Structure 1
């Protein structure tokens, strides 16, 4: 294996947290993308396309902010099972994010998942050229740091 290339496992990440609420209540919060700014360390807000909501095929725009830049993303919901799973793809399959809710005692185990598939990495290669590896490493680090921060914030919101 080429020592300069990350493991395939480096391009996905998932973590979980216990939330003192039933799975449907947790799902109702995490599937309301208009609330994303309440818990995301990078996504300041999201807006559904007119008439859309948490259903497969729905679209929304995300507005992201970091100290060095701001950008927008277009997302499409690819899974929406109330009380179970809410997942979306960003910019036509370049990244996948999602939440899963599973009964856990008297509450819910909430899992957030992230995947940066080959299509996303190829896009970064085309867009950033020689800087692609550095830009990819930034996105990987943001996801790995952002997931536990997001989960803790969602727990505070839901239990609040």
Structure 2
């Protein structure tokens, strides 16, 4: 029982390190925020593997959550930090969708572009209704969030490369 308790004790939320804060803030700046709106409530779940989950935990919930013996998640999942840096979550996409255009950089797709994006395929040209360069929230023609992508332009051709899309959830079996 002692070994099991020690293993479970690593599933605790903790404050982010300065490096982790910089990774999240760098992403938020890239999509249009001047200041990290989640700075005061960021917490990290680090079970000791290759990636760490980053959450926003409102101040009012902190005391209640801190009393729990085990943390799997709490609050809004902002994303994960791994070998490739910060990867925003689909939860964050849904949270930020109402801010599309100001301050959040967004890419809007046509109905055909939506389908391509949700199959994790690059989207080109006429399938892109509105485009911005760099990391952005990707939304469908109805404004619903589809995930995160990167807007590129090569020789005048607009391209959206998926970073994480709603189809990912279904493809991975989750």
Please report the TM-score for the alignment, with normalisation by the length of structure 2.
0.29
Larger gyration radius, structure 1 or structure 2:
2
Identify the structure with bigger relative contact order (alpha carbons < 8 Å, sequence gap 6+): 1
Please report the TM-score for the alignment, with normalisation by the length of structure 1.
0.31
